[in-house]
Amino acid sequence: MNQSDKISVLIVDDSALMRSLISKIVESEPSMRVMDKVMNGRFALQRLCIEEPDVIVLDIEMPEMNGLEFLEVRRKAGFETPVIILSSIAKRGASITMECLEKGASDFVTKPSGSESADLHTVADRLISLLVGFGRKYHELKKSGKTKPIPLDLLKEYVSSPLDAHGTVHPVQEREEIPFSHNEPSFSKPVQHMVTRGKLRRLAEPGKIEIIAIGISTGGPNALRTVFPKLNPDIKQPIVVVQHMPPGFTEEFANSLNKICRLEVREAHEGDLLKPGRILIAPGDKHLTVEKRPLAAVAHLSDAPLRNGHRPSADILFESIKNEYGNRALGIIMTGMGRDGAVELASLYEAGSRTLGQDEKSSIVYGMPRAAMELGAIDEQVSLDDMADTINRYAMEFG
């Protein structure tokens, strides 16, 4: 692959170790290249005045200009280069990370154990999938001339005079390198295997939709921020969501969605009522299930073992929906790596419920929807831009 065809990545982190680790991850993926590595947001803006990357990896806490300040400049200047946040898993980090999403970041990856961790390889697959997913889409848009140019006039105040004169960024002054083990971790991605079930057959005709369930993963935060503001506030069905996200983040994530959605959005708690006008987000590291009772339906949380490597798991949620609602649900599977949710969405389909899947073109990673599609579990494939209108239509027409 020619260098010009590769997804170019700008790495922005004040830690020399982290820049080195992220570079190794990027370079382990043949379709990507490191465009440059800089130590803070101001250097990143200077670099953008010379060349625009296809995607940016951005730390939050940095000297001189931090991640939030960089995103604020990006928003005011109006350039659209996708940004993936690398964040601490601390509680304070969760709040700041959600603020980054509100300011336009596309998604985030949590640093495993602090800003100087050599364990970044544990999230390499997720980071690669986000960089490739968002970066490839933006790369294609740039090639077709459909992106806005970087507004150099608006970034002049952030550009040093040496850059103006010579068109080069000052070399980054590296921190002292932390000794790195010669037994470096491998960043190669595991091969995903999928078992297919053949053509599916509905065992019952679709009934009235009484609940809506969504399973989503990689690219999900940005996708849900696109869908939720457009949901009809008159939707009568409760909505339950599994978004793969680490503990400590889902409460802040739900709060951030609640600010832009006309329905109530909150993190699910044990015993929460499932009621019209409410969207419940599964907490990180807890499975979400539902139970129909004579007077009301409620949510349950559990610490049951991981399924498909996840807790919460979309398969667990869809299985619960099938057991409790049979043919009276709408199951939706959206952008995400892997195949979580596909098997039990197929079971939900066989039980007679209606199903939707996000299409390949608008998915950041067409893994989970593809797996469901190949099982024959999808009634209708829908683009991200059309997903809210489609949910509204199904909810109102079949509710």
* Backbone phi, psi, residue 181, to 5°: -60, 140
Task: Give the active site residue among 54, 107, 272, 340.
Answer: 340
* Closest CA relative to residue 10, chosen from 102, 79, 64: 79
CA separation for the pair 385, 388 (Å, rounded): 7
* Closest CA relative to residue 3, chosen from 56, 57, 54: 54
* Closest CA relative to residue 60, chosen from 50, 71, 51: 71
CA distances from 239 to 88, 255, 344, 357 (A): 29, 16, 17, 16
Helix axes 67-77, 91-102, angle to 10 degrees: 10
5 contacts: CB under 8 Å, gap ≥ 6: none
DSSP-assigned beta bridge partners for residue 291? 298
Burial letters 273-294, b for 16+ CB under 10 A, else e = ebeeebbbbbbbbbbbbbeeee
CA torsion, points 74, 78, 81, 86, in degrees to nearest 10? 30
Helix (H) or strand (E) holding 71: helix 67-77
Q: Mapping DSSP to helix (H, G, I), strand (E, B) and coil, where does residue 18 land?
A: helix
Sign (positive or negative) of CA dihedral 333, 104, 109, 249:
negative
Task: Give the active site residue among 121, 139, 244, 287.
Answer: 244
Task: Give the active site residue among 15, 87, 129, 217.
Answer: 217
Burial letters 193-226, b for 16+ CB under 10 A, else e = eeeeeeeeeeeeebbebbbbbbbbbbbbbbbbbe
* Closest CA relative to residue 136, chosen from 43, 7, 35: 7
* Backbone phi, psi, residue 293, to 5°: -115, 165
Q: Which residue has the tokens 């080069």?
A: 168
* Closest CA relative to residue 1, chosen from 29, 31, 35, 34: 31
Residue 244 annotated as catalytic: yes
Active-site residues: which are they? 217, 244, 340
